[in-house]
Amino acid sequence: MHLNKRPLAALAAAFVIAASGCSSTAPARSASRGVTSPPTASVSQRPSIEPTYRHVVAADHELASKAGLEMLERGGNAVDAAVASSFALSVVRPYSCGIGGGGFMMIHLAKHPRLTGLPRTIALDYREFAPSWATPDAFTKPPLRDDPLASTEGAHAVAIPGTVAGLLYALENYGTLPRDVVLAPAIRLAEEGFPIDADHARVVNGKNVKGFFERHPAYRARFAEFRRIYDDGNTNRVGAILKQPDQAKALRLIAKDGASAFYNGPITDAIRATLKADGVAVTASDFINYAPKELAPLETRFRSRRVLTFPPPSSGGIVISQVLGMIEARKSEYDRFEYASADATHYLTEALGHAFADRSRHLADPAFVPVPVLALTSATNIRDLAGRIDMTRTQPAESYGSRLTSAGAQELRDAGTSHLSAVDSFGNAVACTETINLEFGSMLVVKGYGFVLNNQMDDFTTRPGQANAFGLRQDERNLPAPGKQPLSSMSPTIVLLDDQGKEEVELVVGASGGPRIITGTLQVMLDSIIHDIPASRAVAQPRIHHQWMPRTLTIEADLAGAPDVGGTVASILGKRGHDVKVGSSECAVQAVRRSPRDRNRFEAGSDPRKGGKPAGQ
């Protein structure tokens, strides 16, 4: 389907000019457009030049995609591939995710040699838990009250990691290959090393590593182990080889002994010792008690499709369901908006305003506080929210959000998360998003095992009334508590389409980038489902971001400068009251989509902003 009712020659020209203005040598994420051709009305009519695959992994690093493909080529399924890619990402994207972090995996199983009762979709939650010291007032009383960096740097920022438990749970229950086979590519990459790419060098040379140590020279000694491995004066150069023999030791132990090596064994002891040396006593039972959870996916219908998104403690599924619902609630009007027009952008922004206001007020870990999922996503509520969108203007902050009965920091560290999408030729699919929160997490590296520990505690409402590192203001429902999981934006999503009586995977998608995960994932979904834009182009399109608070609408330059009736998209939105900032998406989306032209094959896209590449056959 395509919606443009008039030729967009002028818009097309604007995109071409803006794209050709990008320096090819600029770092991948700031030269973020990557738009090689304009999103015109004819996108769906052109013969596809998009490569297609019978099985494929799209990760945000090509070597991680290849680790997954290696499993698929051995006859493994999408779960084997996703687990191999995830362990490889721990090595090749150590600033984004890894065995010191946590994640969410959406698994759609259509066929499995051991399992019956398929098809079935599982939302596997292996997000970090708060350790037992983390009481609700931990960050508002001395000594943490007086340390503004306590929730982002060092041992107090670290929650109990879930990645190893989650990946091995997925492998044992839904994969098909042995543990040592699936871990082999990651071990190889850690031992033999891999070349630093542009995104990696950007992070090490940027405000959050180089800049951080310039601003806080006293922390050089505190994070000496981090600096020895990841900031040694060599590993900030594109092409330099990064070897991680210590992390290889951890991965070998996990391959040999399974999750017990990490939760009740030598790696546990090393993590506890590392935290202790930085002033925090975490108990052995904090680790022994870690267990991943199987959740029921949130389900919503959109354009005759079944959209399976992640439930709380993710906020992503609810926000995505609400926004898709608001688009459907005024479908005939929305479908008259030109692609990438001021009207389409305004409607999406206002819908995001409502959904992010709800995120801020109502969402948290449902194991600890009531979360009104049904009320927030009910048809009546969605109709009410959609009806309150005024196409002529934006509104004051307090008018957004559900009517239920009952300045953020701009120094973003945007890449502390990674998403991969995988499909096999058996009909199975995995959308997997993992994180250590901000870039290089807490900067604490486990002595002897060389991996970075997360700083996921900052995703809690550590200081009520104050925004976190992503500028998110969150409710006291999201205060920390022992064993509680912080609210997340990770949104691994699988879309199923009924094709002649048989439901098939149509789209596997997700992103990194804090709250931008949600807006990036949504926009690629809309591009793919409504506008039929192939996966590799959908992930590269210019995007917007709005999260209700702060009241800023970020628009990537190619879209901001695109001409529309009466001005550019940015100038028209400015006149409607939006506080428009032209800036980068700070989000990387990976998507796999069933080819509309050959239903046995898939398109795949890794976001050019982060420099990833899919690998498939």
Beta bridge partners of 511: 589
Residue 374, classified by CB atoms within 10 Å of its CB into exposed (0-12), middle (13-18) or buried (19+), is exposed
Should residue 435 be labelled a site residue for ligand GLY when binding is judged by CB under 6 A? yes
Whether the Cβ atoms of residue 262 and residue 247 lie closer than 8 Å to each other: no
Closest CB to ligand GLY among 461 and 489? Answer: 489
Tell me the per-residue interface mask from 441 to 460 with ligand GLY, x by CB under 6 A, - otherwise: ------------------x-
Q: How many CB atoms lie within 10 A of CB 221?
A: 8
Distances (CA, A) of 601 to 100, 293, 420, 467: 35, 32, 18, 44
Which one of 40, 176, 417, 493 is the catalytic residue? 417
Site string for ligand GLY, 92-131 (x = CB under 6 A): ----------------------------------------
Q: Would you say 359 or 578 has its CB closer to ligand GLY?
A: 359
Fill in the per-residue mask, 485 to 524: x = in contact with ligand GLY (CB under 6 A), - = not in contact.
Answer: ---xxx-----------------------x----------
- Taking the complex as a whole, the smallest distance from the CB of residue 458 to ligand GLY amounts, in Å, to 8
| Closest to ligand GLY by CB, 105 or 327 | 105
**Least distance to ligand GLY, CB of residue 486, Å:** 7
d(CA 247, CA 445): 10
Scan for tokens 């070597």, then name that residue.
63
Two tokens at 442? 């807490």
Residue appearing with tokens 């030269």: 31
The rounded distance, in Å, linking the Cα atoms of 140 and 392 is: 42
Q: Please, what is the angle between helix 163-174 and helix 179-192, to 10°?
A: 140
CA distance 233 to 319: 42
Question: Starting at the edge strand that comes first in sequence, how are the strands of the sheet with 56-58 ordered?
Answer: 293-295, 120-126, 102-109, 429-435, 417-423, 56-58, 614-616
Residues numbered 182 to 211 that lie near ligand GLY (CB under 6 A) are: none
Closest listed residue to residue 285, CA positions, set 268, 270, 273: 268
C-alpha pair distances (Å), 143 with each of 133, 139, 304, 423, 582: 13, 8, 54, 48, 39
Pair of tokens at residue 473: 């203001």
437 binds ligand GLY (CB under 6 A): yes
Q: Are 356 and 408 in contact (CB under 8 A)?
A: no
Strand duo 614-616 + 56-58: pairing: antiparallel
Cβ–Cβ < 8 Å for 287, 268: yes
- Residue 313 to residues 23, 486, 489, Cα–Cα distance (Å): 40, 7, 9
Return the H-helix or E-strand segment holding 457: none
Q: Which is nearer to ligand GLY, 246 or 459 (CB)?
A: 459
Residues 390-419 that bind ligand GLY (CB under 6 A): 417
* Catalytic status, residue 417: yes
Active site residues: 417
Q: Which residues bind ligand GLY (CB under 6 A)?
A: 417, 435, 437, 459, 488-490, 514
